[in-house]
Amino acid sequence: MTHVAANCPNCGAPLDFKWPSSIQTVCPYCKSIIIRTDVDLQKVGTVADLPPDNSPIQIATEGIYKNKAFTVAGRIIYEYELGTWNEWHVVQNDGSSAWLSDAQSQYCYTTATTHNDLPPAAAVHVGGHYTWDAIPFTVTAITEADYRGVEGELPFQYWDKTKALFADCMSARGDFATIDYSDDQPVLYRGEMVEFDSLHLKNLRSFEGW
């Protein structure tokens, strides 16, 4: 793990990028959103007050998925008709990024894949069928969400969003996939639903009722 230390360009407080793959972080002192470039750091926005959260997961929570250790580095928060959910950015022990979705006590572990044949948002619909890597998937849900904020370190810039659209898909054998239409080019994330206890999480957040 390589630390990149600097000072917040807004308030001057010490700022530490813990992960070499991180492009964006949030200053813990002034809540400025900071983008890291090859030359310097740039303030691009400020984090609004984050919504109440009942997840036991937090920044620096550690776990294991398929014998690969990971650490929670950051999160994106979304709001939809059933409440809010977290997309936790996790850094695996080989330095690669993955995502742990945490919605209404349901958890899903995914990684980004490279596919150039993803359907446009206007064409996707519940019940649609697609095949990726020889695995047939069916679209099970389309979710429109509002972007609510970010925390910690992310592997890309993600601060100027307002709306997001996701198409969730399942295979007959239980594989999970979601198409993220947040950017101009959609991205496919593949993985599976996971049980909380199977992740062997530690350094969890303590609060009443948990």
Residue 89: C-alpha distances to residues 39, 78, 115, 153 (Å): 24, 14, 21, 8
- Predicted confidence at residue 210, as pLDDT, reads 55
Q: What is the mean pLDDT of residues 100-129?
A: 94
- Predicted confidence at residue 102, as pLDDT, reads 94
The whole-model pTM stands at 0.85
**Contact in structure between 121 and 181 (CB atoms under 8 Å):** yes
Residue 26 has pLDDT above 50, yes or no: yes
User: Residue 104 and residue 83: Cα distance in Å, rounded?
Assistant: 8
Q: Which residue has the higher pLDDT, 137 or 158?
A: 137
- Predicted confidence at residue 38, as pLDDT, reads 64
Residue in this structure with the two tokens 């310097």, named with its chain if needed = 40
Q: What is the mean pLDDT of residues 106-122?
A: 93
**CB-hemisphere CA count at 13 Å for 107?**
15
Q: What is the mean pLDDT of the chain?
A: 89
- Predicted confidence at residue 53, as pLDDT, reads 82
Residue 181: C-alpha distances to residues 25, 124, 134, 157, 189 (Å): 22, 11, 22, 15, 11
Hey, how many other C-beta atoms are within 10 angstroms of the C-beta on 114?
A: 6
4-46 placed in CATH 2.20.28:
yes
